[in-house]
Amino acid sequence: MQTRQIGPFTVSAIGLGCMNLSHAYGTPPPPEQAERVLLAALDAGVTLFDTAALYGFGKSETLLGRVLKPHRQRFTLASKGGMAGVAGSDGVTRRVIDGRPETLRRNCEDSLRRLQTDVIDLYYLHRWDKKVPVEDSVGELSRMVQEGKVRTIGLSEVSGATIRKAHAVHPITAVQNEYSLWSRNSEISALAACREIGAAFVAFSPVARGFLCDAVHDVDALDAKDIRKAMPRFEPANFAANLQLLPGYRALAQEAGCTPAQLALAWLLHKDAAIVPIPGTTNVDHLREDLRAVDVRLDASLIQRLEAHVNDHTVAGNRYAAQARTEVDTEEV
């Protein structure tokens, strides 16, 4: 496995995003299947595992703690706070964005307990809570670094301006934004800000929530609880338009001698040596397919044609619905 640098950590060039092992894309896999994926990733040389308090309202962190605790020295552990499940008076747990210092501290301590570790290597502010100055949230994360609960700090779904504000309070080691051929928002300023301050860029949803794997062909077949159901790009009319991109995309993958998923990941790896994609999967075979993207070579002509074929302007629909768009800080194309 090739490696890349995230602050002081040398990590595999492709990490593992652990959200869908317990959250988001319909019914999660059985625990034994999720365990197989985690251990297969470790055996294949993956050394960056990314989770969050939000995922499964703690279930993802609990899974990683149980399965990976015996191997803790073999990988870099990333998690996130500031967006978690909170039980309401009606007994229903709902997602809440809360960047107040006392909440971040509680989130971190809960995560440490679930992950069965003394320290989290990279701890992200999962969302900037716009009711709280980002400087206050990052200031509390900085205190956690001083106390040894967290080694380094990251931000997620933020703009270049917010990255710079946060970095003025405490060094930002990594920024994790959505980035793929069909979501280029970070090209407006976030990527440039990361280069400016020397932060790594961790790309989540690098295969466009399964679309660029050529794995989603019928949105009606998605599970009722699948978060893609609420995303404009997967609404029937937009999705029908987006499907028209796939034949040309498949042809480019064939020309590159790789699978559609590998093409999406290889594009990110070619964009910048500071980018680390973190695809997620519930399938060991798909995991191994993704990791082989490090061996794909793309020439400049193919990259140019690929970027012209799939981009924010050729894709129909926004990446988030109206409410979710207010909750992120990333610029819009």
Among 55, 123, 179, 249, the one annotated catalytic: 55
- Looking at residue 71, its amino acid is H
The reply to whether 55 belongs to the active site is: yes
**Which three-class secondary structure string do you get for the chain?**
CCEEEECCEEEECCCEECHHHCCCCCCCCCHHHHHHHHHHHHHCCCCEEECCCCHHHHHHHHHHHHHHHHHHHHCEEEEEECEEEEECCCCCEEEEECCCHHHHHHHHHHHHHHHCCCCEEEEEECCCCCCCCHHHHHHHHHHHHHHCCEEEEEEECCCHHHHHHHHCCCCEEEEEEECECCECHHHCCHHHHHHHHCCEEEEECCCCCCHHHCCCCCHHHCCCCCHHHHCHHHCHHHHHHHHCCHHHHHHHHHHHCCCHHHHHHHHHHHHCCCEEECCCCCCHHHHHHHHHHHHCCCCHHHHHHHHHHCCCCCCCCCCCCHHHHHHCCCCCC
Beta carbons of 24 and 96 less than 8 angstroms apart: no
Which residues are known catalytic residues?
55
